[in-house]
Amino acid sequence: MPHIQVNDVNIYYEDSAPDDTQKPVMVFAHGLLWSTRMYDRQVAYFQDKYRCIAFDFRGQGQSQITKSSYDMETLTEDTLELLSALNIDKCHFVGLSMGGFIGQRIAIKRPELLLSLMLIATSADPEDPTNIPKYRKLMTAIRWLGMRRVSKKVLPIMFGSSFLADKARRPECKEWLALMQDNHKTGVIKATLGVIERSGTYEQLGDINTPTLIVVGDEDAATPYAKSERMHLAVAGSKLAVIKGAGHTATVEEPEQINRVMSQFLECCV
């Protein structure tokens, strides 16, 4: 799959139908510490009807690690330039956690680009000040010990208790642990700093007129239900869905539920 140079960074992306100009487009933006891989089950499910484009943010996955510019505004510009370079003038945008921070900004800044907005396990608020020391401690540990040494401590943040306790899914859990460990520590540290220093978008949510779906797992410790409900009440006409037995990475933990909820929402958008 290809890389493309946009906004002074080399971005990796996957396009399920690069030559198809008839299918509606779905764009998938991943969460912190992950990559396009977190949407594999969604792309497989939707690609028959949609042109699915998933990409890695700078510093993560297979995209370039830059020296600077990991703030949410720059990542938003990366995304907008990627859409422009691929000649995408309308899309359904799916963003999980950090990807949701970007989706909100696009809906506020460039609403004409969006057919719909799907926000999964995300928030419109700045990082909780009580969490920032924990993140900085994590960044220090990664800097000195590397991802492999700290990854197991991060798993309960990324996944719910049902997924982690399911013995039948231990091989799957190990696969995702290995993917997390493959992160380059420099990219992870810079990306994490961009997340914890982000500004909020809550005061601007009332400006969003794009059909919006907000999704949260009932075991999400990182962005609990209250944060999703707060967004839901602020975005006029938005839909709110709860995924049972899922934590912060519901696309992996409960893909069938996620796909069903997304499909039902998209049918209403047509």
79-91 tens-digit pLDDT: 999 999 999 999 9
Is 76's pLDDT higher than 80? yes
Give rounded-to-5 percent helix, strand, coil for the chain.
50, 15, 35
Radius of gyration (C-alpha) of the chain in whole angstroms = 17
| List of residues 6+ apart from 112 with CB closer than 8 A | none
Tokens 């982000």, residue?
198
Overall average pLDDT of the 33-40 stretch: 97
What's this model's pTM, rounded to 2 decimal places? 0.97
- Percent above pLDDT 90 for the chain: 87
CATH number for the region 3-269 comes to: 3.40.50.1820
pLDDT at residue 1, as a whole number: 64
Instruction: From 95, 72, 98, select the one nearest 222 (Cα to Cα).
Output: 98
Burial class (CB in 10 A: 0-12, 13-18, 19+), 267: exposed
- Alpha-carbon distances, residue 102 vs 6, 30, 93, 249 (angstroms): 16, 10, 10, 17
pLDDT higher than 70, residue 270: no
- Ranges of beta strands (E only) in the chain are 3-6, 9-15, 25-29, 51-55, 91-96, 114-120, 212-217, 239-243
Residue 137's pLDDT is 84
Per the model's pLDDT, the better-predicted residue between 268 and 212 turns out to be: 212
Reported as a single tens digit per residue, the pLDDT across 203-245 is 999 999 999 999 999 999 999 999 999 999 999 999 999 999 9
What is the domain partition of the chain in residue ranges? 3-269
State pLDDT tens for residues 113-157: 999 999 999 999 999 898 888 888 888 888 888 888 888 889 999
The proportion of the chain whose per-residue pLDDT surpasses 70, expressed as a percent, equals: 99
